[in-house]
Amino acid sequence: MIELSHFSVVVLAQTHNPTILNPDFLRNTGIVPGEYKIKNFICTPPIAQVIYEEGISVIAEFEKIQFVDELLERLPHESPIPQIAVNYIRTLPYVKYTAAGINFAGHRRFSDHEAVRAFIRKRFVKEGPWTNSQNEAIDIGLNFVYSSGTVKRTININPGEYKKTEEDSEPIVVLRYNHHLAVPPNDTDAIAAFVLDWENAFKQYVEFSDNIFAGV
């Protein structure tokens, strides 16, 4: 089973005003629970960010709003960010939302860096001069894009490192997944339904990872 390390919801919008984002706005409108405690707050003309001690971050820019959950032990099934994202767009229905993305990232640990390289090369790449250039270490990254109507799935596979401590790390294969929906401007209902159906996206992510790492 892949180890999940990231879960976020991103909503794209036209001419969204990031300065509207502040802790009072999020609390008073009920976008986030009133008991959430502020860890940090930044507000500048191009970007605003509210970070909570509960592990939730809301980041607003002119063309997108990000909702990030950093508390790994509850990801994804107990995460509040899908509902927080829906609360946000329904509180500001006049903003021209154009798309939404559900993002996951996870990894599989390997014994050493050569095992990572060998796994990616043997699983996905045909042998040839490009896989053995003067016995140099070759790190291969892959990008798959699947499109169906207004939905697009993008999957990235790359070698990486998992930091256990500042001094100690493990080689890993990182699997990132973006489940993206494009909508006509201001179709908040379609975006809300898409975001609240995040479990379907996660199921596809898990099935893809199981197929990739089958037999490992």
Residue 216: its pLDDT value, please? 84
Rounded CA-CA distance 128/202 in Å is: 35
Tell me the sheet residues that pair with 148: 151
Residue 134: its pLDDT value, please? 67
Spell out, as residue ranges, where the chain has pLDDT lower than 70. Answer: 133-135
pTM of the model: 0.93
Rounded CA-CA distance 140/164 in Å is: 23
Residue 135: its pLDDT value, please? 67
Q: CB burial class (10 A; 0-12, 13-18, 19+) of residue 85?
A: buried
Per-residue burial over 198-207, b if 16 or more Cβ lie within 10 Å, else e, is beebbebbbe
Quick one: DSSP state of residue 130?
A: G
C-beta atoms surrounding 209 within 10 Å: 22
Residue 165: its pLDDT value, please? 77
Rounded CA-CA distance 214/201 in Å is: 20
Rounded CA-CA distance 216/207 in Å is: 15
